[in-house]
Amino acid sequence: MERISLTYPLSKETPLGSPQVLAIGHFDGVHLGHQKVISTAVAKARAAGLRSAVMTFSPHPREVLGQGGQNTSSLTPLADKLDRFAELGVDTAYIFRFDAAFAAISPVQFVEEVLRPLKVRGAVVGFDFSFGHRGEGNPQMLSELGESFMEVDIVEPYEIDDAKVSSTRIREAIAAGEPETAALLLGRSYRITGTVEHGDGRGRTIGFPTANVSPNSNYALPRLGVYAVVLHVKGKVHGGVMNVGVKPTFETGLTHPTFEIHIFDFDEDIYGQQVQVELLHFIRAERKFASVQQLIEQIGADSQQARQLVESFLQRLSAGGLGQ
């Protein structure tokens, strides 16, 4: 998949390429609703003999618009998002820099100064898509403004359990410690990519060595507690049990959670390695234990439960189920 960075206004050096069908949106999560938009664009492009493309925006528009808050964290930071686009068969990904200049353009400018020069012959957007200054543009306006050179398809909401699939709904599930719900809405497990760093080494002294994973980006934070996980490292998949938390049995005053994973039947040096963690199941909340021995016993029980959950997940995966 070709990856092209854009800024507004488009420069003379901007590679304009050939006529294409473009899916437009922020697409945080690349959840089932987003996949429907993107897959529609890919299918229409192939049917018309055109290239398929996606336009996403970075940084998050809320950061530029000063709205801040939890929603500036990501379900799929840019690198993860681009990987998902490629898996969906997209030919070109446009990463449009969302800055003050771009935020100020009118809907007409977006259509005439961005989409027309990019030779967009078909645009696919979600039902709630907005564009232009203060989000003044909507899908119907996009269709009207571009009717002379492109066809616009508006994709209706994707619903599960009589409610639309949304990034907000997924964030709520993750924050509540419900990774199974998040996976149902995403079409895959919620994943965090990070680098294995040196920790305090305490896990090895109590019989449960851990890989300390430092997330590469500002991911949406899971509920603090213990999870059954699978870890992708060096091209292989390993089961494990992960604690997301502030280690209250040993520490006081920690405010930034750590991600510590005990990998089952594993004894390799992976310091400095980039890994990907899939959250499968929330086992229990983090809590302070009265003694180290109580903690050791609880970790043993957590590990046994996590092994069973990982085994079940891998069986479903091998059968072609969730987790692709």
Residues labelled as active-site residues: 260
Terminal Cα-to-Cα distance of the chain (whole angstroms): 19
How many other CB atoms are found less than 10 A from the CB of residue 225?
Answer: 17
Instruction: Report the distance separating Cα 197 and Cα 274, nearest Å.
Output: 10
Q: How far apart are CA 26 and CA 236, in angstroms?
A: 31
Element (H, E) at 239: strand 236-245
DSSP 137: B
What span, in angstroms and rounded, lies between the C-alpha atoms of 51 and 42? Answer: 8
The residues, ordered by sequence, that sit 6+ positions from 175 with a Cβ below 8 Å of its Cβ are: 220, 221, 222, 223
In the 8-state DSSP scheme, what is residue 31?
A: -
Torsions phi, psi for 206 (to 5 deg): -105, 10
Amino acid at 180: E
Residue closest to 243 by CA, chosen among 256, 215, 224: 224
257 upstream amide cis, omega within 30 of 0: no
Question: Three-class SS of residue 202?
Answer: helix
